C-alpha cells in the first residue's frame, strides 16, 4: 500500500496502458481521478481498495479549456493532487509522404500540447501543498529510434508501425520532461517519463510479426509492465530521480 492517502490523476484511464496504471495505483491504496475521452469511471472498471475513491471524467484533452476545467475538477474532488500520469495518447500510421496537415495536428494536439497543459494544470496545486509531487509522462521508443519500420526491406512495414507524427510528438514529451524536471525541482516536484516499446494493446494490433520477432526478449510488453515502471517513479524510492526517461522495451533500444 505504497500510495495509501495519495491522490493520483491518470489521463487515458480507459485505455490499455492507462487502465493498467490506474488499477495498479488502486491496488496500492491511491485515490484517483481518471480522465478519458471515451468512458467514465464505471466503464474504466478500476476496482479500488476500501479506503480509496475513484472519480471518472470524460473530456477531450486536445481542447485546452476543457482540459484545464476537468483537471481542476479532479483536483477539487480529490482535495489535491500528489501524482499526475499522462497516459492519454493516440497513434498514427503510414508514410511521411502521405501525412497531411490535419493528421499532423490531430496527433500533436493530444500527444504533445495536451500533455503539456495537463502538466501545467497541476503545478500550482502541487506547489501549494508544499510537499512536492510526481509527474510521469508516457513517451515512446519511437521518439528515439526513428521508427520500428524498415522500409528499405519491406515498405509495407510502415503501414503497421507508428509514423513520424507520432514519433515527434513523443520526442517532444521527452524534451518537455527534461525542461519541467529542472524548473520544478525547487518545489520538490519530480518529472519523469516512461518510454514503452511495443506493448500489447488495441493500438498495436497491426504491429507486423516480423518486427515483433526483432525484440530481444522475444515478445511484446504488457500494460502491467509499463504500470510497474510508472509506480516506481511515483514512489518514495524514486525521490532522487528526475528528468529520466525510463525505457520499457524488451531490449529493442538502449541508450
**pTM, full prediction:** 0.94
- pLDDT number for residue 70: 98
57 is catalytic: no
Give the whole-angstrom CA distance, residue 182 versus residue 50. 37
Please give the pLDDT value at position 43.
Answer: 42
- Dist. CA 17–CA 138, nearest whole Å: 9
**DSSP code of 131?**
S
> Which secondary-structure segment (H or E) carries 35?
strand 31-36
Q: How would you write the pLDDT of the chain (255 residues) with one tens digit per residue?
A: 899 999 999 999 999 999 999 999 999 999 999 999 986 545 455 655 555 689 999 999 999 999 999 999 999 999 999 999 999 999 999 999 999 999 999 999 999 999 999 999 999 999 999 999 999 999 999 999 999 999 999 988 898 889 999 999 999 999 999 999 999 999 999 999 999 999 998 777 777 788 888 899 999 999 999 999 999 999 999 999 999 999 999 999 998
Under 8 Å between Cβ of 138 and 86: yes
Domain limits, the chain: 7-248
**If 0-12 CB within 10 Å is exposed, 13-18 middle and 19+ buried, where does residue 117 land?**
middle
Residue located via cell numbers 520538490 = 188
Secondary structure (3-state) at 246: strand
State the catalytic residue, choosing from 166, 198, 227, 242.
166
Contact 192, 242 (CB under 8 A): yes
Question: How far is it, in rounded angstroms, from Cα 76 to Cα 60?
Answer: 19
Distance of CA 218 to the CA centre of its chain: 24
User: What's residue 48's pLDDT?
Assistant: 58
Q: How many CB atoms lie within 10 A of CB 4?
A: 12
Residue 134 near residue 83, CB atoms below 8 Å: yes
Query: Is residue 38 within 8 Å of 14, Cβ to Cβ?
Result: yes
> 212 by DSSP, 3-state: which?
helix
Residue 171 φ/ψ, nearest 5 degrees = -65, -35
In CATH, what number does 7-248 get?
3.40.50.720
Amino acid at each position: 500500500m505504497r500510495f495509501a492517502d495519495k491522490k493520483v490523476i491518470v489521463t487515458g484511464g480507459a485505455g490499455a496502458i492507462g487502465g493498467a496504471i490506474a488499477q495498479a495505483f488502486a491496488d496500492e491504496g491511491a485515490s484517483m481521478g481518471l480522465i478519458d475521452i471515451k468512458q467514465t469511471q464505471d466503464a474504466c472498471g478500476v476496482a479500488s481498495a476500501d479506503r480509496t475513491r475513484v472519480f471518472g471524467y470524460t473530456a477531450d484533452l486536445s481542447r485546452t479549456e476543457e482540459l484545464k476545467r476537468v483537471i481542476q475538477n479532479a483536483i477539487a474532488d480529490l482535495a489535491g493532487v500528489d501524482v499526475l500520469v499522462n497516459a492519454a495518447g493516440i497513434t498514427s500510421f503510414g508514410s511521411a509522404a502521405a501525412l497531411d496537415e490535419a493528421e499532423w495536428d490531430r496527433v500533436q494536439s493530444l500527444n504533445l500540447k495536451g500533455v503539456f497543459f495537463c502538466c501545467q494544470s497541476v503545478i500550482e496545486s502541487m506547489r501549494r501543498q508544499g510537499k512536492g509531487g510526481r509527474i510521469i509522462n508516457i513517451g515512446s521508443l519511437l521518439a528515439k529510434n526513428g521508427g520500428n519500420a524498415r522500409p528499405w526491406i519491406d515498405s509495407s512495414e510502415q503501414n503497421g508501425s507508428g509514423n513520424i507524427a507520432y514519433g515527434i510528438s513523443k520526442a517532444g514529451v521527452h524534451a518537455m520532461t527534461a525542461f519541467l524536471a529542472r524548473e520544478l525541482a525547487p518545489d520538490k516536484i519530480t518529472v519523469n517519463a516512461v518510454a514503452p516499446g511495443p506493448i500489447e494493446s488495441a493500438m498495436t494490433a497491426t504491429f507486423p510479426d516480423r518486427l515483433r520477432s526483432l525484440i530481444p526478449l522475444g515478445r511484446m510488453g504488457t500494460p502491467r509492465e509499463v504500470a510497474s515502471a510508472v509506480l516506481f517513479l511515483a514512489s518514495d524510492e524514486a525521490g532522487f530521480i528526475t528528468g529520466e526517461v525510463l525505457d520499457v522495451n524488451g531490449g529493442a533500444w538502449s541508450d
